[in-house]
Structure 1
Amino acid sequence: MPRTQLTSPDQLTELLLAPGPDQPWWVVRHHRTEANPAWSVKFGARTPVEIIAALTDALTAPAAAPAAGSPYEPLLDAGWQPTGEHDSLTSPDGIVRVEHLTDTGFNSCFIDVAVSGDPEGQVWKAYLRGTPPHLVTAVTRALADPAPITRDPHRLPDLGHHLHTTTVQVPAADVAFALERRIDALTTRRQNTTPSPAPPSAPPSPRRTR
């Protein structure tokens, strides 16, 4: 089983992939600083890679102005409905519930994806504890995105009538080089938004003395 640990250049954030039967597979932790409290994100084993990538893309993106509005607006705009239980929203198909938690002392978010109430119906879940709003927004935008996702049909979870599939022939080269193209795109994004260093200032002219 793969186990990966990555640490940010400033040593404040770490990403851990540690597959385990009863634990979250993906964990992102940010250590407390004088200016900001600690926060964390935990994703279950079956969390779609697009959801995890939305978070890591936002995490590694150059700093930008905080987005206005609530992190849950993308869900409301996509037709998700309040359930009346605590502060939660449910997807139009009824299998995803997002709950905003504040009773822990943090602005946290719990995501539960299940096709039934029994343990066998659990698909995946995630918990964002004290996570900055722009990262929560990245996750909710990915949840609300209606675009289809590409999957091997033999590796799909059994979601019954909730799952709609279309078979498409994909060139082998598109699969073989997908990761390389993604890395190149992210590298280009960062290079295009990183400010160029300021040119060195000219040395002062020597002063004449008597």
Structure 2
Amino acid sequence: MPPAPETVEIDFITPRHLAGGGDPAWITVPLHRACGWSHGNDPLMPRVLLSSPDQKALLRLEPDPDGQWWTLHHAAEPDRPAWYASFGARTPVELLAAVTDALTDPAPAADAPCDKHEALRQAGWSRYFDDGLVSPDNKAYVERLGTPNAPAWFVTVSLGIHQKVWQARFGEHTPAHLVTAFTTALADPRLVPRPHGSLGLPTRDPSIVTRQTTDVHAVHVASALEDRVQSLAARRTARPASPSCPPWSPPKSGRSR
């Protein structure tokens, strides 16, 4: 018999808002290779700067122990003032990918009024104060601040009153479909993969986070990022579903921890 394909152990995590940040390359590599964003070259600085081809958008990834690690700024346009979105270090890259994939879509959805809560309600999130929602595990909160015509959106994940895990912030002029892309990804029930034993999990408490450890063919793990790049690049000529998660999933026989 031929030898079994080499496998690696992958932890599939739920809920995804407590899966840790993941690999930043899931964001930066597709933006550069599939979407044409340019980057600077300053190896002495612990940061990444990516600029859109039209130079209107700038994504900054910079370690900041006291603030947001990811910041997306967009210049003003004739029909919209400048806007921003920012994300904490432990914001899962799958959620951030939903935003950058929607932003770089060559045929974006019309920025019409939409219900940013709909996917969350369908996933069992419940009302939180006047205009917010809380996740079923009471660890994630989505809040709308400001005025009804110009709201800012905050998504906060915490393990207690004084233990914030991450926060995403969308300024009042952020296009509605980008906020909706984020909340839809946040509500997605699919598990997200992380390297086995990843130190990035905010907690390993089995009553809060479920880890399903699965042997995955190494070739699938190695090719996941390249598959994502190719899928996003193909949007210029076709419109396949843009993957915000690797194209492999845990089999039913996986081990839960």
TM-score normalised by length of structure 1? 0.84
* Number of equivalenced pairs: 190
- The residue aligned with 1:64 is 109
Q: Which has the higher strand share?
A: 2
Pairwise CA RMSD: 1.9
| Higher RCO, 1 vs 2 (CA within 8 Å, ≥6 residues apart) | 2
Distance 1:58 1:91 in 2: 24
Structure with the higher fraction of residues in helix conformation = 1
Native 8 Å contact 2:114 2:177 kept in 1: no
Q: 1:184 pairs with 208, 230, 235, which one?
A: 230
1:141 matched to 2:184? yes
Structure 2 gaps of 5+ residues are 1-44, 240-257
Give the stretch that moved more between structures: 136-145 or 3-12. 3-12
Identity percentage of aligned residues:
44
Larger Rg: 1
Q: Deviations over 1:149-173 (max 9, x none)?
A: 1012322221522101111001111
2:99 matched to which residue of 1? Answer: 55
Partner of 1:152: 195
Task: Supply the AA of the counterpart residue of 2:181.
Answer: A
**C-alpha distance in structure 2 between counterparts of 1:14 and 1:75, whole Å:** 29
2:171 to 129, 145, 149: 129
Report the Cα distance in structure 1 between the residues aligned to 2:56 and 2:89, rounded to whole angstroms. Answer: 24
Unpaired segments ≥5 residues, structure 1: 194-210
Within-5 A mapping of 1:33-182:
33-62=77-106, 63-66=108-111, 69-84=114-129, 86-103=130-147, 106-118=150-162, 121-130=163-172, 131-155=174-198, 156-160=201-205, 161-182=207-228
Structure 2 CA distance for aligned equivalents of residues 142 and 67 of structure 1 = 19
Normalised TM-score (structure 2): 0.69
